[in-house]
Amino acid sequence: MPEIEIIHCDALPPEQELSSILTQYYDLIVQRMGAMGFSIDPAAPQSALAEFWANAGDYLPPNGCLLLARDENGQIVGCGMLKRLDRETGELKRVFVTEAARGTGTGRRLIETREEAARAMGLKRLVADTLTPNVEMRSLYPKLGFTEVQTPLKTTSYLDQPMLRPHMHFFVKNIG
């Protein structure tokens, strides 16, 4: 099993490096949305990447957390982000692990490490959303103590992507 290190970022990593893993993440989302029958603009991954960089500071301390997973060669094989929604609530965003690192526990560690960061920030509750075809996250969140809720949560994706609402699943975990 490869040795994978989870790294807290106090500042944004080099743009090219972070953009590379995020592009893989956005490409997977677009692929899955296409499989759901959505007609996706081919520029969507680049638009999503630009939106991330425009708001990247939301994912840095003191109001956020940006984690990278690096393999023994220093390559980024995963990422995960957290941002404060309000005084007590944090939102998990952009959990992604490359195919090569899947099955290593990296996704679990990315969630658990962000949960620790959320507690250190004084947050009492974590929320997350995912799309129906993301069976990996829909399976993992409950294993880590998250409860799927039927009432929509006003997450970033819920507010920014109304067309996805019928396909979204929402998860909550009280941590305080």
Mean pLDDT for 44-49 is 86
The pLDDT, as a whole number, for residue 160 is 87
Q: What whole-number percentage of the chain has pLDDT above 90?
A: 77
Mean pLDDT for 133-154 is 94
The pLDDT, as a whole number, for residue 111 is 97
Is there a contact between 152 and 144 (Cβ–Cβ < 8 Å)? no
Gyration radius of the chain over CA positions: 15
Give the C-alpha separation, 92 to 88, whole Å.
13
Residue range(s) defining the domain that contains residue 29? 5-174
Query: If 0-12 CB within 10 Å is exposed, 13-18 middle and 19+ buried, where does residue 97 land?
Result: buried
CATH of the domain at 112: 3.40.630.30
**Would you call 11 helix, strand, or coil by DSSP?**
coil
Give, in degrees to the nearest 5, the angle at Cα 98 between 95 and 103: 90
- Give just the sign of the alpha carbon dihedral 118, 6, 14, 51: negative
Is there a contact between 72 and 1 (Cβ–Cβ < 8 Å)? no
Mean pLDDT for 91-95 is 96
Counts of helices then strands in the chain (DSSP H, E): 5, 7
Of the pLDDT bands very low, low, confident and very high (cuts 50, 70, 90), residue 1 is low
Of the pLDDT bands very low, low, confident and very high (cuts 50, 70, 90), residue 121 is very high
Q: Among 31-40, 74-83, 135-144, which is the least confidently predicted range?
A: 31-40
Domain count, the chain: 1
**Per-residue pLDDT reduced to its tens digit, 11-30:** 999 999 999 999 999 999 88
Q: What whole-number percentage of the chain has pLDDT above 70?
A: 99
Give the C-alpha separation, 33 to 35, whole Å.
5
Give the C-alpha separation, 162 to 132, whole Å.
15
Is there a contact between 116 and 154 (Cβ–Cβ < 8 Å)? no
Could you tell me which of 7, 11, 19, 12 has the C-alpha nearest to residue 117?
Answer: 7
Is there a contact between 68 and 76 (Cβ–Cβ < 8 Å)? yes
**DSSP character for 152?**
P
